[in-house]
Structure 1
Amino acid sequence: MVGEGPPPPTSKVSDVITTFRPTRLFKAPPSAHYTSIDFNDSGEFLLLSRTDDTIQLFNTKAGAHAKELKSQKYGSALARFTHHDTSIIYASTKVDDGIRYLSMHDNSFIRYFRGHTQRVTSLSMSPGNDVFLSASLDNTVKLWDCRSPTAQGQLDFTAPYLTAFDPSASVIAIASPPAQTIHLYDFRNYDKPPFATFDLLDTEKRYQASHGQKSGAGWTGLEFSNNGKYLLLSTNGPGHYLLDAFSGDLIHYLHRPSGSATRPAPGDVLNESHPCYLQSDAAFSPDGQYVISGNGGQTGLLVWDLKDTMSGAEKVLEPSCDLPSTKSAAVVAYNPRHNLIASADREVMMWLPDADAA
């Protein structure tokens, strides 16, 4: 592990992106896997779900584990901060398919959100307020307000496994892997037909033939860049799709030379070898210029520079650098306020820029 002394938090991402190195490693029980990752708005805290029915909280300023929250009765997945640092939401994996609103201060439930009848595959907080979206294997997307236990709205949808808000909180994206489509809705009129639909059938066929990318399956995450220009569709295959957020046109196929990740995607059948599905192992940097991702079945992280024009006619963009580590990364997040990356698979790792690696 590298030493202390990261650059000032005002450093440009482009000045430090190639120098990130692991600085903290937090071990977990041998049989446990981390399944989701999230930073709070200030970037001070990091939240992760784990397959041993716990939720783990870390203080990024101190570089230390802060708290373990047990959810043995209901299980835990997709843990997300609300806009109140001490309150979170997460999906159940046992007993029912509800969503739970928890105060971490005293480990007490504030509210239950019931209505889904099968496993929840996506939770997305609005960047503007305490409204959130949930998608489920029951073929519905529900809109919730943290202040009410009753869903504020519902969309019936075929396999809506992934959801996302755009940075302005005015657009909702819903992705259906079997249909190979992403639909965009006006948040104020979500009950109206989508104002845009991106069909990825031809795109997936192209990279299925050239790179072995699965077609109509394997989608693991959906995320808008903070500048609103891009939409990242991550997969557990040998690449991710970077789309124009306005037109849906493919900008880059972010190729992973090491190949596919091992965990199944939402909607895939879980088994003893793969007891948990993969939340996106790719994320934007806060400035929207880079995507950081797990290295497929290998260790370390990959970085793509989205301003790179070397992808050519096939739009295949190779990583601009790799960040070395001895650990794999199944979930990845870039701190929204500071130059800090967090990743996890069986263990949690925090990464900081290393001046000696420049």
Structure 2
Amino acid sequence: MAAGTPGPPAPPLAPGTQKVSDVIATFRPARRFKPADSKTSVTSLDFDDTGELAVVARDDNTLQIYNCKEGKHAKELMSQKYGVHLARFSHHSQSIIYASTKVDDTIRFLSVHDNSFIRYFKGHTDTVTSINLCPADDTFVSSARDDSVLMWDLRSPNYQGKLKIHAPYLTAYDPSASVIAIASPPTHTIHLYDVRNYDKPPFATFDLLDYASRFLGAQGGEWTKMEFTNDGKNLIISTTGCGHFVLDAFEGTITHFAYRKAGHSGRLGPGSSRSGGNARSMDSPAIGQGDTCVSPDGQYLLGGSAENGVLVWDISKAPTSNHYLEPMETLPCPAKAPIIGYNPRANVLASADKDFYLWQPDRDLMM
């Protein structure tokens, strides 16, 4: 099956409603979906607002949709001509926006129901590196390797606003939808803009150069993802280095450096010169969207590494004097987890490299 083979029929997943802290150490893979082509890799992951569906983009130019409640593959959508990356559900689970990896740098708005395009968002002239939907409405923000950040409304093909910033590879909305963070990894800076006044200068700029030198060392590390915790208190910067930065979202000061001894999971970051386009040789890394995610309660950071399994850091702990934070758990998995997400509505994890896994708490471990 092109979409993947989930194995023998199994009962539906039973997404738990327990506190995250009660189940975080008990997560285990419950479903495995294998692509027909063993060379295929998953490059991005997103959940819809209800938490019922997950969508992954793969570098075989397909979108795969999974039902998280039933633990089943739901649909395959093809994008052979344009490629697909950074697939994101709109606030309606029957439509998806995604970046092109071939032909042009247009962002496409797709109807899941009949696999037809609703709208095209043309404005970027180089590889799109991030797409973030506003939590409050149908606007979204995108950034690209053309040094631009564009503001969009799903109802219009024309961008509503434009910022010119050097290498603005990462973007993120805060949970209140009042702030947009824009990160420029080569300059080690993060700019915070008021959503209502994005055409004005940023109201805050965080300089992380000293932190990068201190914690990532001579080997360094490219920034791969930026995410606010759901309580708005912390801002996470994921890297390809030996760990990730957990920052105070108001001050830009470091609270933790989430250390991983084995190093990163091997995916290319948005600033890599090889991250534009899907074409790659067998031995070159796939693109990704950063190998971390934050639990819905904002207490835990989860991420991949060079080894199999998922690392878990408790970022709610009080900072230590040196700010280093070791993982509290390594959740066992038969594969690496360079793509990972925590379902926003239920205790279901998803991870992927080539195969796609749905995780749930193991009841036997909870007893």
* TM-score, with length taken from structure 1: 0.95
1:7 and 1:353 in contact (8 A); partners too: no
| Residues 149-185 of structure 1: CA deviation (Å, up to 9, x unaligned) | 0000000010000000011111000000101001000
1:53 alignment counterpart? 61
Equivalence map 1:63-102=2 (5 Å): 63-102=71-110
Structure 2 residue 109 is matched with structure 1 residue 105: no
Kindly report which structure 2 residues correspond to 1:312-331, keeping only aligned pairs within 5 A, or say none.
312-331=320-339
Distance 1:6 1:116, change over 3 A: closer
Letter in 2 for 1:18: A
Determine if contact 1:82/1:125 at 8 Å carries over to the other structure. yes
Q: 2:307 aligns with which of 298, 315, 329?
A: 298
- Pairwise CA RMSD: 1.6
1:238-268 CA deviation, whole Å, 9 max, x = no partner? 1011001111110100001222221221111
Partner secondary structure for residue 186 of structure 2: coil
Contact 1:74–1:92 under 8 Å retained in 2:
yes
Task: Measure, in 2, the Cα distance between the counterparts of 1:118 and 1:5.
Answer: 42
1:232 corresponds to? 236
Q: Which residue of 1 aligns with 2:364?
A: 356
1: distance between equivalents of 2:306 and 2:181? 28
Distance 1:98 1:139 in 2: 15
d(CA) in 1 for partners of 2:11 and 2:333? 17
1:191 alignment counterpart: 199
**d(CA) in 2 for partners of 1:193, 1:219:** 23
Matched-pair contact (CA < 8 Å) for 2:132–2:173: yes
**Offset of 1:312 from its aligned partner?**
2.4
Instruction: Please report how far the alpha carbon of residue 357 of structure 1 lies from its aligned counterpart in structure 2 after TM superposition.
Output: 1.8
What are the superposed Cα offsets for residues 51-70 of structure 1, whole Å, 9 maximum, x if unpaired? Answer: 00001100001100000100
Does structure 2 retain, via aligned residues, the 8 Å contact 1:40–1:83?
A: yes
d(CA) in 1 for partners of 2:58 and 2:264?
Answer: 22
Cα displacement (A) at 1:281:
1.0
In structure 1, C-alpha distance between the alignment counterparts of 2:11 and 2:257, rounded to whole Å:
35
- Residue 4 of structure 1 and its aligned partner are, at CA, apart by 6.6
User: Deviation of residue 81 (structure 1)?
Assistant: 0.3
Residue 103 of structure 1 deviates from its aligned partner by 0.3
Identify which range, 101-110 or 273-282, moves more after superposition: 273-282
1:249 is aligned to: 253
Amino acid at match of 1:276: A
Q: Is contact 1:6–1:353 with CA below 8 Å preserved after alignment?
A: no
Cα displacement (A) at 1:314: 1.2
Q: Deviations over 1:277-310 (max 9, x none)?
A: 221110110000001111x11111000111233x
Shift of 1:219: 0.6
Which of 121, 129, 135 pairs up with 2:129? 121
Measured in 2, the distance between the counterparts of 1:182 and 1:8 equals 36
Stretch deviating more after TM superposition (152-161 or 9-18): 9-18
Provide structure 2 residue ranges, at least 5 long, that are not aligned to the other structure: 1-6, 275-279
- Counterpart of 2:43, as a letter, is T
Q: Distance in 2 between matches of 1:153 and 1:303?
A: 38
TM-aligned CA distance change 1:315 to 1:259, over 3 Å: same
Equivalent residue number for residue 277 of structure 2 = none
* Residue 276, structure 1, aligned to residue 286, structure 2: yes
- Provide the C-alpha distance between the structure 2 equivalents of 1:314 and 1:323, rounded to a whole number of angstroms: 26
Q: Percent identity?
A: 54
Corresponding position of 1:21: 28
Match in the other structure for 1:221 = 225
Q: Once structures 1 and 2 are overlaid, which stretch shifts more, 5-14 or 276-285?
A: 5-14
CA distance in 1, matches of 2:284, 2:173: 29
SS at match of 1:178: helix
Q: Please tell me the residue identity of whatever aligns with 1:285.
A: S
Q: Distance in 2 between matches of 1:306 and 1:95?
A: 42
Deviation of the 1:23 alpha carbon: 0.3
Contact 2:12 2:69 in 1 (8 A): no
**Deviation, structure 1 residue 131:** 0.5
Change over 3 Å in CA distance of 1:239–1:62 after alignment to 2: same
Is the 8 Å Cα contact of residues 114 and 149 (structure 1) preserved in structure 2? yes
**Aligned pair 1:181/2:181, yes or no?**
no
Name the aligned partner's letter for residue 203 of structure 1.
Y
Query: Is 1:139–2:143 an aligned residue pair?
Result: no
1:334-354 Cα deviation digits (max 9, x unpaired): 000100000011010011001
The Cα of 1:237 is off from its aligned counterpart by: 1.5
Instruction: Provide the secondary structure at the position in 2 that maps to 1:32.
Output: coil
Report the secondary structure of 2:187's partner residue: coil
Q: Deviations over 1:51-103 (max 9, x none)?
A: 00001100001100000100000000000000011000000001100000000
Q: CA deviation at 1:8?
A: 6.6
Task: Measure, in 1, the Cα distance between the counterparts of 2:90 and 2:53.
Answer: 12
Structure 1: gaps (5+ residues): none
Q: CA shift at 1:9, angstroms?
A: 2.9
TM-score by length of 2: 0.93
Q: Is the 1:78–1:122 Cα contact (8 Å) retained in structure 2?
A: yes
